[in-house]
Amino acid sequence: MGKTFAEKILARKAGLKEVVPGQIVIVRPDHLLTHDNTAPIISKIKEELDEYGIVDKNFPVIVLDHVIPAANEKTASNHKKIREFIKRHSIKNFFDIGTGICHQVLFEKGLALPGTIVLGSDSHTCSYGALGVFASGIDRTEAASLLLTGDTWLKVPLSIKITLKGKIKPPVSAKDVILYIIGNLSASGANYCSVEFHGDLEQFSVSERFTIANMGVEMGAKVAVFPVDDITLEYLKGIGIKESSYKAVWSDKDASYSKELTYELSDIPPVVACPHSVDNVKTVNEVTGIKIDQFFIGTCTNGRLKDFEVAAEILKGKKVASDVRLLVLPASRDIFEAALKENIIDTLSKAGAVILPPGCGPCLGAHQGVLAPGERCLSTANRNFKGRMGCREAEIYLASPATVAASALYGKITDPRVVSYRI
């Protein structure tokens, strides 16, 4: 009997010949991600850090991104405390404010490599599955323990095989595909499972696979993972990573799954996740015309160059509706600079966009872009929970960059296919 991705990688990392779903294994992840929450993490283990130090200075990856630049004295003090901790323990992989959103930074810096395990005290750590990484979220307490010991337990998950068949029809994008799947499977449809993507994947760039893997947790997945193919190899080569520096893992052809699903991509239309849950998915036609106050393009889900290219193409030479706001948030400095070079930032700014620093604040209502009671936001982010953008009497709708950009022109939810035809 063949083995799944999760079974193979966990067996390898646990030093066992084979493992089965439900089995608990002890592993040493290759990296531990923490961000602004490093401050409360180190407070928990102050005495232990003094006595034992951290397990390995190459092990943690720490990115300041959640409330950047600092919003108040408390968050500024947290950042200061983290910078002092970095110096004191000579931590190698530290990225200060402005570098980018943690998940994008791990991608760009070659810290999420195929065949490795990365755990992070952030639920969207599952994004690295785009590069064939076993990547999953944990809480702050577990991150604290990992900083000291470097190891933890993992239960071998059941696996779900999702086959993506055929070709998407632009302006339908990877975002529509994953929202459609979550709408179909439900917010708990992949709970505790490893979700493997198979099928016609060559049409999806690493950026688009990132969008899909990023939202794995929104259906409860432990990991959401893609195979390593020529597109992955090309991306890694582009950031200076040699093929010899990692060992990819993928499932056997005769592996056993708890569920196997196939989606015909040409059938998927532009979709919108409606308030207040990510699986409340409707076709754009069902919600066309809903008035929106704030539009938000960016985040770790959809803040990469291609996302802004799509938006800029729709907004070029035009202005967003007069009574709305458009926020644009690149996922990293590298992306911001690339977008500057391509005049995309200029196009979006002239269309009326406010350009934000590469961080997570607006997504979770922690910093910038907060909504007022009664307002609606159409966003490319990954969550639309009640209160998520700082106000429980506001509504959040989720969609692709094309749908958000097209809708911003009219101030209401608009089918991007209609706007594309008009261009």
Q: Which residues bind other proteins (CB under 8 A)?
A: 24, 26, 36-37, 39-40, 43-45, 48, 51-52, 66-67, 72, 74-75, 78, 120-123, 125, 137-142, 144-145, 148-149, 151, 153, 187-188, 191-192, 217, 220, 222, 277, 364-366, 370, 383, 385-388, 390, 392
**Residue 24 beta carbon to other proteins: minimum distance, rounded to whole angstroms:** 5
CA dihedral (296, 297, 301, 303) in degrees, to 10, reads: -140
**C-alpha span between 102 and 123 (Å, rounded):** 12
**Residue 321 beta carbon to other proteins: minimum distance, rounded to whole angstroms:** 28
Of 286 and 393, the one with the shorter C-beta distance to other proteins is 393
**Residue 123 beta carbon to other proteins: minimum distance, rounded to whole angstroms:** 4
- DSSP 8-state class, residue 342: T
For the record, the structure tokens of 292 come out as: 């929106």
Helix, strand, coil fractions of the chain, as percent rounded to 5: 40, 20, 40
For the record, the structure tokens of 169 come out as: 């029809």
Residues in a beta bridge with 255:
2
**Residue 80 beta carbon to other proteins: minimum distance, rounded to whole angstroms:** 14
**8 Å CB contact between 62 and 82:** yes
Of 205 and 280, the one with the shorter C-beta distance to other proteins is 280
Per-position DSSP letters for 17-49, written without gaps between them:
S---TT-EEEE--SEEEE-TTHHHHHHHTHHHH
With H, G, I as helix, E, B as strand and everything else as coil, classify residue 417. Answer: helix
**C-alpha span between 34 and 63 (Å, rounded):** 7
**C-alpha span between 389 and 362 (Å, rounded):** 6
Of 16 and 239, the one with the shorter C-beta distance to other proteins is 16
**Residue 162 beta carbon to other proteins: minimum distance, rounded to whole angstroms:** 18
Of 220 and 352, the one with the shorter C-beta distance to other proteins is 220
- DSSP 8-state class, residue 378: E
**Residue 309 beta carbon to other proteins: minimum distance, rounded to whole angstroms:** 30
For the record, the structure tokens of 286 come out as: 């069902």
**C-alpha span between 82 and 382 (Å, rounded):** 27
**Residue 275 beta carbon to other proteins: minimum distance, rounded to whole angstroms:** 12
**Residue 98 beta carbon to other proteins: minimum distance, rounded to whole angstroms:** 17
Of 161 and 222, the one with the shorter C-beta distance to other proteins is 222
Of 12 and 140, the one with the shorter C-beta distance to other proteins is 140
**8 Å CB contact between 311 and 392:** no
Of 48 and 293, the one with the shorter C-beta distance to other proteins is 48
Of 209 and 222, the one with the shorter C-beta distance to other proteins is 222
Asked if residue 270 has a cis previous peptide bond (ω within 30° of 0), the answer is: no
191 CB neighbour count, 10 Å cutoff: 14
**Residue 166 beta carbon to other proteins: minimum distance, rounded to whole angstroms:** 30
For the record, the structure tokens of 272 come out as: 């919108």
326 membership: H or E segment, kind and range: strand 325-329
Of 140 and 412, the one with the shorter C-beta distance to other proteins is 140
State how far the alpha carbon of 374 is from the alpha carbons of 57, 280, 339, 371, 381, in Å.
47, 20, 33, 8, 20
**Residue 19 beta carbon to other proteins: minimum distance, rounded to whole angstroms:** 14
Of 139 and 243, the one with the shorter C-beta distance to other proteins is 139
